[in-house]
Chains A and B, each alone.
Chain A
Amino acid sequence: MELLIASAIGVLTAAGIYMILRLRTFPVIIGTSLLSYAVNVFLFASGRLAVNAPPVLREGVERYTDPLPQALVLTAIVISFGMTAVVVIIALGAWLSCDDDMVDTPRINAEARPPEPMPRGDA
């Protein structure tokens, strides 16, 4: 079972990294979401795996799984929603105001760019 979890995290991470390296905003956002899954599951799994041992106290039950990673991951899940939403609005702003959803700056070399045309009446 540990192998399944580890490989699932690996697959999510690899897919996330690949998507983050794409050139458009939307795949990059998807990539960060995938990475968020991977990171959350990673953190959760760092408390080690346990089946049928939820950290809810019961009479006579002695075995509980580690509650701390769960608490940390719970807030992380909610925060990652906030983060995704912020990134999405930034991407939307760029797209709506510049018709551009490329993540790379088009001009790599600022010095090589041709001089701006002089505004009319200023010459």
Chain B
Amino acid sequence: MPAGLVAARMLGDSPAMSLFLIVALPFLGAVLPGLMIQAGRRTCFLTTLLTTAAAAIGLASHAPAILRGETVMARLPWLPELGLDVNLFLDPLGFMFAGLILGIGLLIITYARYYLSRDDNMGEFYSYLLLFQGAMVGIVLSDNILMLLVFWELTSLSSFLLIGFWKHLPEGRQGARMALTVTGMGGLAMIGGMLILGQIAGSYDLSVILTKGEMIRQSPLYLPALILILLGCFTKSAQFPFHFWLPHAMAAPTPVSAYLHSATMVKAGLFLMARLWPVLAGTEAWTVIVSSAGLATMVIGALIAIFKNDLKALLAFSTVSQLGLITFLLGTGTPFGAMAAVFHILNHASFKAALFMTAGIVDHAVHSRDMTRLGGLRRLMPITFAIATLAGLSMAGIPLLNGFISKEMMLEEALHTTLFGTPLLVAVVAGIGALLSAAYSFRLIAHTFLGPERTDYPAHPHDPEPGLWLPPILLMIPVIVLGVAPFLAEPFVKLVTGAVIGPGAQLPKEHLALWHGLTPALGISAAAVLGGLLILSVQRPLARLWDAAPRPEAKAIFDALIGAIVAAARLLTSRLHDGAFTRYAAIMVAAVLAAGLHAWFTGSGWTPGREMLPVTPAALAAWAMLVVASASLVVIHRNRLAVLVLMGIIGLMVSVGFNYFSAPDLALTQISVEVVTIILLLLALNFLPNRSPAESGAARRLRDGLIALAGGGAAAALIYVILLSDFPAASISDYHLANSYKGGGGDNVVNVILVDFRGFDTFGEIIVLGIAALVIYALTETLLSGPVRARLLNRGYEEDRAGDAHPLMMVVLTRVMMPIILMVGVYIFMRGHNEPGGGFVAGLVVAIAVVMQYMASGFEWAAKRQRYPYHGIIGAGVLVAGLTGIGAWFVGAPFLTSAFGYVTLPPLEKFELATAMGFDLGVFLAVVGAVMLSLESFSRLGRRAGTEVNDHPMDIDPSRSARRTDPMGQLDAPAGPGHSADRAASNQAEES
């Protein structure tokens, strides 16, 4: 497809960036800073800035459509069965938030460039920041609420990384953990609420949910959904009583505080309340819960802020308070309240981000944020002073600044709100909140910048470089412009308000204006400012009182709570999970039995009706052998060699059983696996002790015996019932039987299932097998490169050794058998598609043929003659199988589709060629490689110091002895001259 066409399709009619790209850009860009930091801090900064700028431009490209009142949609089905689709939509509300996130993001990135010191890893910081940014943009652009939840959790995670960015600070780590715990728990609650909401509405798409407000509010599940969702919003937006995490999150670097904790993340809760406003708002429950939580937060946050000496702590509590204000406005449930909330979100983002940045500047310049050590900075840091004063006065609600307008609207709304049936209650509380807000704002300015200059600043105060003060200055533009001429913002604010309250509701008629006349709200405002000044004048005596008064410390409560939960979890864990594996095994068996019993007594569908097969004497004999072998195994299990013999009997009986019950493939596989397993366990016993000590007492053995008998009895009963009843539903096996030849071209249905019907499954299985072998190889390598190596090399022999380690008979026999077994292997492989056999069995058979050589002539001798590394064989097998599957793509068929045909070569019979054989070849190679690599790794552990590597295939070779007069006993002696000639000849013979 030509590139232009792709572009046109992606962009649609209007030249605007895809919403997917806007969300994806920060995520994609998040890898860049970490890489670009190698090229220097400047490059790293520019990359981050450009990434955000690109997303911002993309967002701006939608501005014309949004301002026309359109909603932009982008849909991509992901898991439609779950209702989880990557659906995005952009409406004025999302546009405003995305604009805030990306716009303030640009300023913060610039600010952070100059704020971070040389010791900070800037790449890491910017990567986290972009990750966070992407998650935030994702939240505000999500249409699907399940996607929204994913982004929501991502903001919690990325903010955890950002708050704890200074990993060396214990406050940072604790604050990050606390923030993650609180917002994470809230997120969990919200998942529940959102799922309920989706269930009620019958869709997980916001665009659908938002049209079903009436239906949702009528639902009996409305209240649980509301409470759960509000838990998520309140924890995220630091509403009382979940406000305490935000001040502790201030241990983060200041750019993080300015970005996450004033402008964006803490507004996510507000965003969601605004987003779901048409659905959730308007009920008694909504108004009571949301507006009272908002009011409480506003007053409590403001009150604490007045007495905080740390600049950032003051700002943190002021943020809590301001967020409470917005929550209250949303909680009133009126269109005017929503409009005021929207406007205040904009205003707060501008002045609070600027205030945080100035706090960072002061900290940077004076090396202290403690207001008791500051004061008198106005002449030393005039630019900073100007910014902080403008922003602070805006926060206090002084006319001609934007904070005034929205605070007036809040008071106006409060005057018209009645809670708990008490008129004026809300207005009074809101007035107190405004008064306290004015007080802490004045204090921030007065105690930092006003007053006499001091001589004991920790560092000489000075205005910083422009990189630090330019971003907050830019934020002052809206603070002043909107303060003087609020009508400029009115169309946009009304547009966003319209998106909040939904298309059906009536937009408020009021205008954003500086002067509404002498209203009661203006009176409260004036009183609040005067009261604020009054409190400022007596702040110091008040602070002494405050410090003396007892009050609950949120962190202590939180720590105690977490401590109690951890202790309870420890108690439970230490009872169940105490390091005793045998106990876990017993608990596991008991739990499985209990679950099985529950299913047994509550389930239904048992209709025994099958006729039993007659018992034959041969079957009875095999059964008796198996039972006796198992029982003897348990009795004499301390003798480990005897156990292996009994295991051999059991395995053999199982294979015979498979064969008897019409499963020749299984019988072949079982018996060959049996051989390699026993060899493997023998190799292990070469190192492990040959006997287990008697340790368990009689009571312990009785307990284990009872558990075992219960488990065995349950398994027997279950399968007995299954065997006697018919299939509850039609099996898909009939399909396999019917299509094995027609579709797969094979008569052996089991093999066709493996390589064709369920080929993908088999493909995964050979990969697992290969990985298991590689794990064994890697563990062996680790063991051999550590202290174990020396121990292995120096250990002696516990038993007497055979004088004839590589006996003549065995060597000759295995050499003769090797080609025969290989031939059998090829035969089993070739016929596998139509007769019992196939890649698995053939692989095992060939592996056994090779293992025999190792056993007969010794590991070193055989390893020298092995040309292809077993890892390579595994890899080749997986590749061959994969490529066979991919081959189907070239004829336009899905992965692993097989084809077959018949070939006639004159001397041979007509035979079949199927692509499935290529796949089976891959299986064959992977099995050979995996089995051999496992066994080889075990053998490599067996090397000891001082062992001669035998140069000859057998120790006693008559043909060699005949040529030499040496007595046989000298064969173990160091090689003499005669020996080496002999060796050369022998080697030549072997290699030719």
Contact = CB atoms under 8 A, between A and B. Distances in A.
A85 B585 contact: no
Nearest to B937: A89
A57 B612 contact: no
Interface string A30-60: 1001100110111011111111111111100
B835 interface: yes
Contacts of A42: 715, 719
Of the listed residues B661, B680, B688, B927, the one surrounded by the most CB atoms of chain A closer than 10 A to its CB is B661
A96 interface: yes
B790 to A, nearest CB: 11
Contacts of B834: 56
Interface centre among A8, A51, A89, A109, by most chain B C-beta atoms within 10 angstroms, is A89
Interface residues of A, number: 89
By secondary structure, the A interface counts as helix
Contacts of A30: 633, 637, 643, 647, 681
A21 B931 contact: no
Nearest to B692: A24
A33 to B, nearest CB: 7
Interface in B596-650: 610, 612-616, 619-620, 623, 626-627, 630-631, 633-634, 637, 640, 643, 647, 650
B681 A29 contact: yes
Contacts of A88: 680-681, 684, 938
Contacts of B917: none
A3, A83, A109: most-surrounded residue (chain B CB, <10 A) = A3
B720 to A, nearest CB: 4
Given A12-B650, A79-B768, A104 B633 contact: no
B750 A71 contact: yes
Nearest to B753: A71
Contacts of A1: 612-616, 619
B732 interface: yes
B582 A4 contact: no
Contact of A86 (B581, B666, B772): B772
B664 A54 contact: yes
A92 B634 contact: no
B107 to A, nearest CB: 50
Given A4-B620, A95-B688, A46 B581 contact: no
Given A1-B613, A51-B661, A21 B586 contact: yes
A78 B669 contact: yes
Interface string A13-32: 11111111111111111100
B779 interface: yes
B621 to A, nearest CB: 11
Q: In this complex, which of A3, A10, A24, A86 has the most chain B Cβ atoms within 10 angstroms of its Cβ?
A: A10
A50 to B, nearest CB: 5
B70 interface: no
B780 A89 contact: yes
A22 B582 contact: yes
Nearest to B779: A89
A67 B688 contact: no
B630 A34 contact: yes
Interface of B: 574, 578-583, 585-586, 589, 610, 612-616, 619-620, 623, 626-627, 630-631, 633-634, 637, 640, 643, 647, 650-651, 654, 657-658, 660-666, 669-670, 673, 676-677, 680-681, 684-685, 687-689, 692-693, 695-696, 704-705, 707-709, 711-713, 715-717, 719-720, 722-724, 727, 731-733, 736-737, 740-741, 747-750, 753-754, 758, 761-762, 765, 768-769, 772-773, 775-776, 779-780, 782-783, 786-788, 791-792, 834-836, 840, 844, 927, 930-931, 934, 937-938, 941
Given A12-B650, A21-B707, 11 more contacts: A2-B612, A7-B623, A10-B717, A11-B712, A28-B581, A40-B670, A48-B723, A84-B680, A86-B772, A89-B938, A108-B579
Please provide the 5 A-B residue pairs with the shortest distance between their CB atoms, ordered closest to farther.
A14-B712, A10-B716, A105-B579, A82-B772, A6-B720
7 contacts: A2-B610, A5-B723, A10-B713, A15-B630, A18-B634, A82-B772, A109-B578
